[in-house]
Amino acid sequence: MVKPRLRTGVRLTFDRVRDTHVLLFPEGVLVPNATAAAVLELCDGSNEVGEIADRLGARFRGVRVEDVAGVLARFEDRRVVEWT
């Protein structure tokens, strides 16, 4: 099974000044929305997409595997997420 993780050199951190998560990577900085940050926090290479959706579903209503996969696909296109 494939599991998403942040690529080498990519780091999700909380910026206290901006009071939001920021995604730092060699090519720049992204400010993900709260939903995307919640998904990215679980991208450590140990969770499959379905597991991420289940874990988020315990915290939020209406989480669908397809939506989580879509978020991850967009970050994969930006070369922030890779699959193990």
For residue 16, count other CB atoms closer than 10 A to its CB: 7
Domain range summary for the chain, segments of one domain joined by +: 4-79
pLDDT tens digits, one per residue of 38-79: 999 999 999 999 999 999 999 999 999 999 999 999 999 999
Q: What's the CATH superfamily of 4-79?
A: Coenzyme PQQ synthesis protein D (PqqD) (1.10.10.1150)
DSSP class of residue 7 equals: P
Task: Please name the residues in contact with 37: beta carbons below 8 A apart, sequence gap of 6 or more.
Answer: 12, 20, 21
One-letter-per-residue 3-state SS of 20-43:
EEEEEECCEEECCCHHHHHHHHCC
Kindly state the percentage of the chain with pLDDT values over 70.
99
pLDDT band at 16 (very low <50, low <70, confident <90, very high): very high
Tokens standing for residue 77: 């296109």
pTM equals 0.93
Q: Is the model's pLDDT at 1 over the cut of 80?
A: no
- Please report the pLDDT score of residue 27 as a whole number: 86
d(C-alpha 73, C-alpha 58), whole Å: 22
